[in-house]
Structure 1
């Protein structure tokens, strides 16, 4: 898990620092923001004080309606919990009283021109990904027709070459060699790159290529939810049965089970095409269609 500081938020969202500039290195540990409307009204039972606090028009307009004495009391009740920071949206002004308290308590007060709801979504998404549990695995991550796939296998088995073929067919590279997996919800893992290898694909006998420069910007995307784990293995006779439907297998990453398939390699075999077929078949299953069930129904109809 990365360490995210208030300074990171300032840089990421181009925030204006109104107070507490000496405390921007403070760490943020919670991934969701909070709007302290009830707290300004005096209700603190469920106050998420460890979260970034967002002050929209409702909160600021409410404070403007209070007398100076009452406003100081309401603000004082909140700042004593020492939240990481306050962020005022829509470039709202008239904040002298907030600036005063934040300076005294060493709490950064920041401001953005963005509307409240949109800004909260952006910050929630950013913090969720930055603070998510993560791990790095050896492999390739691709997005095939909108479906995130991990390609794994021993070194030299052909993962990058398969990814290259998929890219030439219009699909997208996410990461080569080092794939960073992040758990952003109890049942969702995204795959991304480590920054250093962004857009690069290493091909044996060719070397390093930049897929965006070679095939255009559509050849790469920054991240993708992972829904399939495909292992490329060397061909072994009789190792795989030709059954109508294989028993479901799974690989577990960060306590989340991902459907697992094995594709054996053999000269002349269209591995990229098989990966495409696996992705499309997974999609059809999510829509409630099973080719095996359809086939068995046809057999029953013809036997009547």
Structure 2
């Protein structure tokens, strides 16, 4: 299981640690943060205790207005549940009472002087947690971003996936990952493709060796991640196995329950495979806009038919 620790949040969002320095290795398992509200007035039936707790200006102002006795009760009730950490987005001024309770219970209290609103910070934090705690698998293949469309290139070892990726880079497209592609399931319909850290920016070409595409071709040749929209399976040429139909029946590949449109491209010497991948990317985009070349072609044919 993937994990994110409180220390990861401190590093990612440049948080100041007020208490709980020895508790920063606590695991965070939930993909959404929580802003306590009802909990401050004693309603804990649905309190998500395993989420990061965010205290913004609204929450801090409310606590400041309470009497010392009331504040002790309100805060004491919440820290009793030991959430992984508290993050205050309004700075550390006037937080003596909160510091005391968090220190007493061993809960990390973190502070961020945000330039954005608390709601915006929560969105940033949720996005980070979702991406880093998402279910993931690793597959053999190549991931590219072609005309803004995330593509998986699959096929047997030695079929030419990396060479095709190199050709696409030369035509202005971006490498995401070569050889090992990490797929992250962000939602039932969203699959994110990225690298496996060790292969970041690297492309392996037979007869040439390992290339760093950023060093060779600049930052424009590389992209950290991409939403996977199209799965392309590269296969050996098999004669007349592919018919010249106007439009193929839709095919899909499933990864962790997410279905991705899939096509097969057969390889043959002299065939412009990179051009076919570009055409597939553009055609996928047009389909998302509701356009089908085959449907338009048939309408033209029907328009020329004599009336019955």
**Bin for the TM-score computed over the shorter chain:** over 0.9
Structure 2: runs of 5 or more not aligned: none
Partner of 2:183: 181
Aligned to 1:289: 291
Task: Specify the SS of the correspondent of 1:97.
Answer: helix
Kindly state the Cα deviation for residue 238 of structure 1 after the two structures are TM-superposed: 1.5
Partner in structure 2 of residue 66 of structure 1: 66
- Partner of residue 129, structure 2: 127
**Distance in 2 (alpha carbons) for counterparts of 1:171 and 1:42:** 55
User: 1:291, 1:41 → 2: CA distance?
Assistant: 61
Distance 1:215 1:121 in 2: 34
Alignment counterpart, residue 226 of structure 2, candidates 209, 224, 227: 224
Which residue of 2 is the match for residue 215 of structure 1?
217
2:275 is the counterpart of 1:273: yes
Written as runs of structure 1 = structure 2, the 5 A alignment for 1:20-169 is 20-114=20-114, 115=116, 116-169=118-171
- How far did 1:299 drift? 0.3
Say if 2:230 is the partner of 1:235. Answer: no
CA distance in 2, matches of 1:100, 1:34: 21
- 1:104-155 deviations in whole A, cap 9, x for unaligned? 1111000111231222122111111111100000000000111100000011
Pick one of 280, 298, 301 that aligns with 1:299. Answer: 301
In the superposition, the TM-score normalised over structure 1's length comes to 0.98
How far the C-alpha of 1:20 sits from its partner, in A, is 1.1
Runs of 5+ unmatched residues, structure 1:
none
- d(CA) in 2 for partners of 1:160 and 1:273? 15
Counterpart mapping for 1:197-208 below 5 A? 197-208=199-210
Aligned to 2:163, the other structure's residue is in SS state helix
* CA distance, structure 1, for counterparts of residue 175 and residue 38 of structure 2: 46
Task: Give the paired residue count.
Answer: 304
Q: What is the distance in 1 between the residues matched to 2:2 and 2:9?
A: 13
What is the CA–CA distance in structure 1 between the aligned matches of 2:111 and 2:25, rounded to whole Å? Answer: 17
Runs of 4+ in 1 over 6 A off after TM superposition: none
Shift of the alpha carbon at 1:92? 4.1
Taking the aligned partners of 1:276 and 1:262, their CA distance within structure 2 comes to 14
Farther off after superposition, 113-122 or 147-156: 113-122
- Aligned equivalents of 1:240, 1:83: Cα separation in 2: 58
CA distance in 1, matches of 2:92, 2:237: 65
Whole-angstrom distance in 2 between the partners of 1:117 and 1:218: 33
Distance, in Å, in 1 between the alignment partners of 2:93 and 2:167 is 55
